[in-house]
Structure 1
């Protein structure tokens, strides 16, 4: 896949990939390129990794491309494979994780754009866009993550039991 994104003026820019909690997120379209309408990220998730339970003010959708993801939506669990689509309305408790033994890949779209990409810019570590290997995991800085989440209208929820 091409590692560039098209700007509104016709120029191209390098895609940016961020690592966060075992996820490699490559932004294929940013809010600035879509007039604020949406952002689009390709997400490669390590086995056992994913996102913590949360809600948000923006809309979110996932399209699984490779592997499997386990989605939690309002307390209900759903296993999704290639071609499966999940829509998350604003303020809906949700999370995802890769239950498999190899990396899984999906596309994530957020409407409007800006909230999620701002959050990931604040908490993610920039990595080479061509990388498919996951950096070593260190314990997350929960206070920093929670503060960034709050700034971008994301509410972290306690883990489900």
Structure 2
């Protein structure tokens, strides 16, 4: 068994990746660093970014809003979530979101099994890079390849 060590990251630190479904992810804690307990990343989101209706069959997902606002569709109900708000979605619960005001949020998945999906559906961010265009075909392919997410349908907004 591998002995875990402390992970310390300051603001702005962590591997950055352009998610092809929109947004810049900064990895704060990977599954490898947490012994599989969780995955945490900061997500910077532009207005209008939208996700398809989906679910995570093997992980609970939590969003903690740091800035901005999203419209959240959870299990058939619509909610607005702003700075300081939190949503905890048990594994298997259908959800989607749309960014209403430029946002920054922490995303936590427990246990941490979704890292492969996010890596398949992203590209490394380098200084001066512009966001990658949304590529839902790539997101669907990553979902099928990893099984960490199931796409259930188009965005419900």
TM-score bracket relative to the smaller structure:
0.7 to 0.9
Instruction: Describe the superposition over 1:66-119 as per-residue Cα deviations: whole angstroms up to 9, x where unpaired.
Output: 01011110111100111101001111100112112xx2100000001122x210
Taking a change above 3 Å as real, the CA distance of residues 31 and 18 of structure 1, as seen in their structure-2 partners, is same
State the distance in 2 between where 1:107 and 1:23 align: 12
Q: TM-score, normalised by structure 2?
A: 0.83
Q: Which one of 137, 144, 148 corresponds to residue 153 of structure 1?
A: 148
Does residue 24 (structure 1) correspond to residue 1 (structure 2)? The answer is no
CA contact (8 A) 1:50 1:96 kept: yes
Contact 1:23-1:50 within 8 A present in 2 as well: no
TM-score (norm 1): 0.81
Contact 1:61 1:109 in 2 (8 A): yes
Distance 1:78 1:42, change over 3 A: same
In the TM superposition, residue 10 of structure 1 has moved relative to its aligned partner by: 5.3
CA distance in 2 between partners of 1:148 and 1:84 (Å): 29
The answer to whether the 8 A contact 2:23-2:131 is kept is no
Task: Establish whether residue 45 from structure 1 lines up as the match of residue 39 from structure 2.
Answer: no
Distance 2:94 2:6 in 1: 38
Cα distance in structure 1, aligned partners of 2:73 and 2:6: 39
Superposed displacement of residue 134, structure 1: 4.7
2:63 maps to what in 1? 62
Alignment CA distance shift 1:108-1:10 (3 Å): closer
State the number of aligned residues. Answer: 148
- Corresponding residue of 1:107: 106
